[in-house]
Amino acid sequence: AAKDIGARFGAPLTKRSTWVVFPSRDAMAKSNVPLDDLEEGLRAWTPLVRRRQLIVFNGSRTELARDVAHGVTHALQTQVLFPSGGWAVVGRGPLFHAADWFLEGTAQHFSGAPGAGEDIDLRGASLANSLLSLEELQDFNEVPDLGLAYMQAQSIVGYIADEFGEPSLGRLLQAVASH
């Protein structure tokens, strides 16, 4: 996954990260991993200040492959945004230089195309005039509907990739990192 996504993203993954796959959410809860940031329903977590990916395996190899691809994308993003590592930026200003819609949308994009149900959900939200604004999508901690935020983010990033090519996503992230 790392080679494929790195080539598509235009930035190879060069830094190692630790991957921990738990057989269940309960097993993760019994470990020393803090669950504060892992909301109910989420299957994976990428702590910024440590180069590690945490995944809860629910028995589906398809979903595991998507979660791994999602995590690889976040590892690439962390490598580009914080080349010296997450701990090097603690206490030096804002930790997040890119909008959540871009970070999560890119991770969703590289982890696979949306299903028909997600397309229908987006269409329904559009028809009901309940899509979130780009301003609302800046910070997923503040959105009223996290599922909709992920779907919209993936749709936005998919549009950018279709119009300008997938390597443009890597160039955009590098531009954000340089400012």
Least confident of 10-19, 37-46, 158-167: 37-46
In 3-state terms, what secondary structure has residue 63?
helix
**Cα dist from 99 to 21, 121, 135, 166, whole Å:** 27, 23, 9, 18
What Rg, from alpha-carbon coordinates, does the chain have?
Answer: 16
Is the pLDDT confidence value at 111 over 70? yes
Confidence of residue 10 (pLDDT cuts 50, 70, 90): confident
Task: Give the model's pLDDT for residue 157.
Answer: 95
What's the average model confidence in pLDDT over 51-57?
Answer: 79
Is the pLDDT confidence value at 147 over 50? yes
Q: What is the pTM of this model?
A: 0.82
Confidence of residue 92 (pLDDT cuts 50, 70, 90): very low
**Of 99, 94, 73, 100, which Cα lies nearest the Cα of 13?**
73
What's the average model confidence in pLDDT over 6-31?
Answer: 82
The average confidence (pLDDT) of the chain is: 82
Task: Give the model's pLDDT for residue 86.
Answer: 54
Least confident of 93-102, 109-118, 135-144: 93-102
**Cα dist from 48 to 52, 77, 81, 176, whole Å:** 8, 10, 10, 17
**Of 101, 98, 99, which Cα lies nearest the Cα of 80?**
98
